[in-house]
Structure 1
Amino acid sequence: MGTEIVPPSSSDPATGVQSKDIVISPETGVSARLYKPKTISPNKKLPLLVYFHGGAFFVQTAFSPTYQHFLNSLVKEANLIVVSVDYRRAPEHHLPIGYDDSWAAVKWAVSQSTVGGHEAWLKDHVDFDLMFFGGDSAGANIAHNMAIRVGSEGLDGGNLVGIVMMHPYFWGKDPIGSEETSMEVRAVIERFWLLTCPSSPGLDDPWLNPASDPKLSCLGCKRVLVFVAERDALRDRGWFYCEALGKSGWGGEVEIVEAQGEDHVFHLEIPNCEKGKDMVKKMASFVNQDKGHGL
């Protein structure tokens, strides 16, 4: 599963959005698909979203038709630039390689703001003071961990305003909420995590359970938007994340939106459903909230 790919488009028929592929690191093969709106006003600078795809750290790519459709829709609605990261995946490349690849992509994106930047779509059209991370499932996990890294290491040349996490892949050793009645699901998630990250100390690894991370209060942004789905086995972890973030001493704002009657990444499985369209509109509002306010 998750192996199908589609080429980038000079003009997507449905949205007019343009996309192209670039290699970030020839040494590791880390690459990305870039997206920009059909038209950009002269001298207009747009927000930047660095996006990390889902797939349990095992499957899918930045070149999947699933993400091509979703990000075309988002770019049209939100009028922003996207760097969709293709990080290396397990089992050939265990974590933390995927995290390190994603961080390399973040630093590459920000480096385009400098005099030496060569990627015109970013250098000419991005307002690097309006930078966001986003992702679904495992990609949402990456987005969070990249924001933790921004808070602990800094990010020269860019200002991370917020992160958007759709149905984030978080877990923990002690069951919470409906997890207490879903032991088979717990066993599968535990097995997958340990296959992905054999060096992990377990399910309370801060990479997987942010509530156990002493650096949680250092999350390197001021706004967080979390989407959860009522029937998703990861639902309670999304709510728990928001609660833990609020209690950590982090001084930002967190908002959570729950889709009733829906399952994990339903917005990707049924891309034209109304609730999926509502998610795209909410994301667009989130990333454009601070435009023109001189952050």
Structure 2
Amino acid sequence: MSGIRFDGVCVAYDGNTVLDRLDLTVEPGEVMALLGPSGSGKTTALRAVAGFVRPAAGRVLIGGRDVTALPPYKRGIGMVVNNYFGFVYNRKELAEAPRTWEELLDARYKGKLQYSTPGVAGDGTAVLIKAMHDFGGKEPAMEYLKKLQANNVGPSSSTSKLAPKTDKGELLVANGDVQMNFAQSKSMPNLGIWFPAKDGGRPTTFALPYAAGLVAKAPHTENGKKLLDHLLGQEAQKLVSEVGGGFPARSDVKPTDANAVELTGLMNGVEIFEPDWADIDKNLTAYVDAWKSATGS
């Protein structure tokens, strides 16, 4: 019996194929990593397993059971968080980070600002989620993003390419994620991390979700539990910032290494909110369509 199996899975966002007849089996007890650039389908594959995206064709099986049509809460998949959505800026060209969304409408950012494409790259969808939260809903967020389009370079399917462009000065501002950008900043001296606020409000962010879980009644369940127990154990969690430049998933673990101190300072004063994932799952296509209409994309 296989642990997790993709059987000819196809997922497309508005005509852009992200997973094209994916066939992949992860055996019980096997540890597998998905590697590839931003926009290559890693997150989409995980979302398909967790139930946050419905394949246009093919099946997703967990423990030999077809779960393609099952909602997330019936799949037995757990969520582990260790990263936050953020933005980057060029520290050489800008004396300090922008503070608000509204500042990005200034003419100095024309042709010097770019963000990942919503509905194509996961971080692009995160731009929509954060904007809707900060501006208080879909309509005001789309109205703002319509104005911002005058400065936007254009679509980007790869978030990982935006930080190097920002470091070189090709861009002044772009989106990213804290863990990736923190690691990149070690070799990109002009890269700074910041979190936009609505004018008059606090800077905000939210935790990017990653899925981890055990297959019910599958062989080697005890080994799977041991792996998760190890990854979530105090000793491993204490090393998350030092080794991975990320944040512990456990709130009771407080690393004190240099990276942890720097990351804690970075998050100081930033409001962390919890998106309504059920609403996003239900209305994602409508939100992306609204963004396309507003921006003419």
Query: Shared fold by TM > 0.5?
Result: no
Q: Which has the bigger relative contact order, CA under 8 A and spacing at least 6?
A: 2
Q: TM-score, normalised by structure 1?
A: 0.33
Structure 1 or 2, whichever has the larger Rg, is 2
Q: TM-score, normalised by structure 2?
A: 0.33
